Amino acid sequence: MNGDTVDIDLARTWVQAIAAAVDKHKDHLTQLDSAIGDADHGTNMHRGFSAATTALADFAPDTVGAVLVKTGTTLISSVGGASGPLYGGAFRAMGKALDTPTTDTQRFAAALAAGLESIQKLGAAAPGDKTMIDAYAPALAAFQQQAGAGGDLAAAALAAADAAEDGMRATTPLQARKGRASYLGARSIGHQDPGATSTALVFRALAETVGAR
């Protein structure tokens, strides 16, 4: 396998890496959510990705997409609140775009774009609304830029992770315009968005999974 390919094992390892990152940071996610949300984001994400890891353990997928669709379906069925449908829908959309045993960086970029489209359709949020999109949109743009310039998967994933973290930090001064936090109005200013934070974990897990092989 060359360094520019996503295969079934890599997809499964990525989901496991997200679960590990969420487990490590679940208290932090909940602290962020207690300031501007329902204080359950860390718990919900942990439950969802733990369930996804369990679901994948005895699953025999024949495509990269099957891993991600299974992950998304599990998230939708096991996570409460808005994050289950948003993350679950994104993983299902990504998976539906990757119906082959292996895929290249360009096709993976297209799958990530399908994931963002799913989130925007369901959440009706735009960049600057202080949501997970503020991490996802710049991550996608960075990934696409690297892929378009001929960068390999590792370079694209690393650029995406860095951009997601920049976007995550940039939510702090924003006033929330969507989701539970929007009810707080100006009081949402000064708090980092929990959804953008978990999105950054997802992209950092991808970069670390690709970089470790």
pLDDT digits (tens, 9 = 90+) for 55-84: 999 999 999 999 999 999 999 999 977 899
Copy the structure tokens of residue 51. 């369930």
pTM of this prediction? 0.97
* Bridge partners, 102 (sequence order): 7
Q: Where do the domains of the chain lie, and which CATH numbers do they carry?
A: 5-211 (1.25.40.340)
Quote the strand ranges of the chain, DSSP E.
5-7, 102-104
Tell me the pLDDT of the chain (213 aa) as tens digits.
Answer: 456 899 999 999 999 999 999 999 999 999 999 999 999 999 999 999 999 999 999 999 999 999 999 999 999 999 977 899 999 999 999 999 999 999 999 999 999 999 999 999 999 999 999 999 999 999 999 999 999 999 999 999 999 999 999 999 999 999 999 888 999 999 999 999 999 999 999 999 999 999 998
pLDDT digits (tens, 9 = 90+) for 132-146: 999 999 999 999 999
**Residues for the chain: how many in total?**
213
